[in-house]
Chain A
Amino acid sequence: EIVLTQSPAILSLSPGERATLSCRASQSVYTSLAWYQQKPGQAPRLLISDASNRATGIPARFSGSGSGTDFTLTISSLEPEDFAVYYCQQRYSWPPLTFGGGTRVEIK
C-alpha cells in the first residue's frame, strides 16, 4: 500500500498570502496524484488531477507540481473561501486507492 504523508498538518496564513502544501509518497506514483479541497460540512471537491492539471472550474490561483514521490499544491494568493482542508490521493498503485492525512489551511 502506498502511504501519502502531507505536511504541514496545519498551515496558518492570512488572506492574500501564498500557501504551499506538500504531499510525499512512500514510493513513486509518477504523476498519478490528485488534490481535493474539503470545506466544513461539505464533500471533497477535485482540484488537480495527474499532479498538475486543474479540474474544470478551478481558479488559476491553484496549481500543482511534482512527480515521483514529492508533490506540491500551491495557492498563489489565498482568498477567504480557500480556507479548508486539502487532501492528496494517488491512483498509481491500487487497490487500495489511498489518501494523505490532510492539511488544514486556517486563517492566521
Chain B
Amino acid sequence: EVQLLESGGGVVQPGGSLRLSCVASGFSFDAYAMHWVRQVPGKGLEWVSLISRDGGSTQYGDSMKGRFTISRDNSKNSLYLQMNSLRSEDSAFYYCAREASQHPNYFDPWGQGTLVTVSS
C-alpha cells in the first residue's frame, strides 16, 4: 500500500523556522517527483513546491520563494520542507503528495497532513 506520513508540524513564532518531513512507503520513491501542498483549515488548497525524482530540480510558489527549501533523501524514502522566516499566513496543514502515476503535476496520493501554526 502506498503511504505518505508527514511529521514536524507544530507551533512556531513569526520569523521562526520549522522542518517538515514526509516518509514514503509502498512504492519506488526515487521514481516519482514529489510535492508539498498546503491548506489553511477550512479553506482551499495552495501548491507549495515540487522536487524532481533525483532532487536536481525544484520549483516554488511565489510567496514561498527564498523562504522555503524542498529537498529529498532517496536513500531514506524521505521528503523535506525547510521553512524559514515564517509568517502568520503560513499557518496551514501541509500535505506531501506524490505525482500521479503517468500524470506529472497531478497529485496522487496525499499524506494525512501536518499542521503548522505560526503565532506569538
Residues B100 and A95 in contact, CB atoms below 8 Å apart: no
* Given A49-B100, A50-B103, A96-B61: A87 and B109 interface contact (C-beta under 8 Å): no
B-side interface size class: 20 to 34
The prevalent SS among residues of A at the interface is: loop
Binds A, one of B10-18, B40-48, B79-87: B40-48
Q: Give the number of chain A interface residues (Cβ < 8 Å).
A: 22
Smallest CB separation, B91 vs chain A (Å):
18
**Chain B residue at smallest Cβ distance from A92:** B105
* Given A95-B60, A97-B47: A43 and B113 interface contact (C-beta under 8 Å): yes
Contacts of A94 in B (CB 8 A): 59, 105
Query: Is A101 engaged at the interface, CB distance under 8 Å to the other chain?
Result: yes
CB within 8 Å of A: which of B78-101?
95, 100
Report which of A42, A45, A87 forms a contact with B44, defined as CB distance below 8 A: A87
Contacts of A54 in B (CB 8 A): none
| CA–CA, A43 and B35, complex, Å | 14
Residues B105 and A91 in contact, CB atoms below 8 Å apart: yes
Query: Is A64 engaged at the interface, CB distance under 8 Å to the other chain?
Result: no
Contacts of B61 in A (CB 8 A): 95-96
CB within 8 Å of A: which of B39-90?
44-47, 50, 59-62
- Interface on A for B, CB 8 Å cutoff? 34, 36, 42-46, 49-50, 55, 87, 89, 91, 94-102
